[in-house]
Structure formats: C-alpha cells, structure tokens
Amino acid sequence: MSVKKRDIRALTLEELTVVFKDIGEPAFRAKQIYEWLWSKSETDFSQMSNLSKKLREYLEENFVINAVEINEQQISSDGTIKCAMKLHDAYVVESVLIPHESRMTACISSQVGCSLTCKFCATGKLKRMRNLNADEIYDQVVLVKKTAAEKYNAPLTNIVYMGMGEPLLNYNEVIESVEKITSPKGLGMSPKRITVSTAGVAKMIIKLADDNVKFNLALSLHAANDEKRNHIMPINETNSLENLAEALNYFIKKTRTRPTFEYIVFKDFNDSLQDAQDLVDFCRKVKGKVNIIEYNPIGDSEFRQTTHERLNAFTNYLEENGVICNVRNAGN
C-alpha cells in the first residue's frame, strides 16, 4: 500500500523541524529544506544538493511539491506576456507579465475562476472552482520572474494580485503568499512593490488594516455611484460605496497607506462629466489616486471602449478638481 504523500510546502518551519526530529535528523535540516523551497524556489527534491541521498529519497517517498507549470505563453504586440499556469490538479489560471520602461509587473491569480460575476470581466463568467494555496500563488511569481529574466533580461519589480479571482475572498492564503514573497527567508521582495486589488469586501479591508499589512491596496471602483456600480458589480449591493469609504478610511488611518482606485471607462456608461464629478466626490471622502483604464472589450459584453475625446474630457475634469490620475491603455 502506497504512503499518502504530504504537501511539504503546507508545513511551517516549526512543523518541518518536528518532522526531522522524529526521524533523527538535526534541526538545521529543516532550515536547509525551507531555504530550498522558499528562497531558492526548488521544486525537485533530487536537486537539493546539500542533503544526503538517503534524506532526499526519504523526502521523495513521503512528501510532494505541487509545483505550478507554464502551460502556454502568448506575447502581445506591446510586449505583454500572458501565461497559462497549470496547477497540480490540471486546473489552469492566468498570470501576466506587463513590461514597462521602468518596471516589470507580474499580475497574478488568487482563485481558479471567480464568484463575483462582474459584468465587464471575462473571469466573472467562469465559476469559482477553488482557492489557490499560498505556494501556488508564490509559484506564479517565480515563473513570471523567470520569464522577465529570459525574455527581457530584467528583474521583476512589481506584483499585482489582479488576475483571476477576488484576493480578499482567499484571505489567509493571499496573506501567507505575501509573507513567502517578501520574507528574507523567501524571495525577499519589498511589500511596497506589491498591490492587492479588490472588488471591495469592506469587512476584509478592515481586517487588512487590523493586521497592519505593509503592501498597497487597490479598489476596483469603475463607478462612483451605487446604482451604476450595482449594475456592473453585484458585490456593491452588500458593500456600498459608503461602507467601502468607511473601511478604506480605517485602512488609511491604521496603515498610513492611501489606496489606488481602478476605474475602467465604458462608453456612454461611466464616462460623462457627471460620472467624473461622482469620482471627484468619492476621492474627497477617501484620499487616493486614480488609475483610469481603457476598456478592452470581451466577447458579447454590453460595454464598449470610450472615445479619446470623452476620455480626455473625463481625465481633464478630474485633474482640474485636484484628483491625481494616470491613464493606462487597453493593453497595459
């Protein structure tokens, strides 16, 4: 009868230490293996060269590393690289490398599918199958980092949790993955280089504040009045703009970090000067900067990309009223 192998990356350093103590190995073995797993990102026990052959065989027989693999890559004309990431149970999620003159950004997923059904989002049409584990989120970063080195000879500089899924509905694993990515015992990246983007789960934004997180927070806003936001983002029905403003101001007070508001402009839906005024009003309640994003249409969507004239009028109105905003085109 075969032994059911344990997922070694689900164990803490303390739990690993107990495992090796039980088989008569010194405690420092746990630190060595932890370093292979989280600092060197090794996914093959046989490559852990400072361990004895006997110990490597023991690990192979009793543990598994559920490594994520790149299944397919697509390179866009602007240099963006979409990676289909295959998980150990054959589910696939998407991670994206977005190159820029001054930075390389990994956009990573936190769930297989999504439960939020936002009308403008392709992932919103997919059923949520499961949450990703912290190691699966970590692996995406490692693989996109390798892609940046291979394709652009450049280091990965930024990480955005803005792929498939709602990060705050997979709270514990997302927080654990950030710890592995930022820890000196992990990848050692600065938390200030990480942004977690949420569709707006007010109680979990409050939890982020109470946990005193060090990374940046972005709110996918896309409309600054409740009626319009309810229409495109059903989550708003239970997390109104007033509730979100309260939660975000609590987050700012506790973490001393201002959020970013993501705002996709849709033609004749949320791109009028009245919509701009609504956004100005929201930014007066909650101090934050705005990323204006041009819409990239999906299949049978009811939405279309706005015109350059309406986009310019919208952004000019924001700037005239003291709102800091950046415009990202449909490909970035």
For the stretch 226-266, pLDDT in tens is 999 999 999 999 999 999 999 999 999 999 999 999 999 99
| Terminal CA-CA length for the chain | 52
Q: How far apart are CA 90 and CA 85, in angstroms?
A: 9
Contact 56, 45 (CB under 8 A): yes
Residues 256, 154: contact at Cβ < 8 Å?
A: no
* In the predicted structure, residue 21 carries a pLDDT above the cut 80: yes
Quickly state the pLDDT bin for 329 (edges 50, 70, 90): low
Rounded to an integer, the average pLDDT of 146-174 is: 96
pLDDT tier, 331 (very low <50, low <70, confident <90, very high otherwise): very low
Backbone angles phi, psi at 214, to 5 degrees: -105, -5
Give me the pLDDT at residue 302, please. 82
Domain boundaries, the chain: 6-64, 69-328
CATH architecture for segment(s) 6-64: Orthogonal Bundle (1.10)
Average pLDDT for the chain: 94
Fold of 69-328: TIM Barrel (3.20.20)
Over the stretch 190-229, which tens digit does the pLDDT of each residue have? 999 999 999 999 999 999 999 999 999 999 999 999 999 9
Which pLDDT score is estimated for 332?
Answer: 40
pLDDT at residue 125, as a whole number: 72
Residue 288 is encoded by which pair of tokens?
């934050």
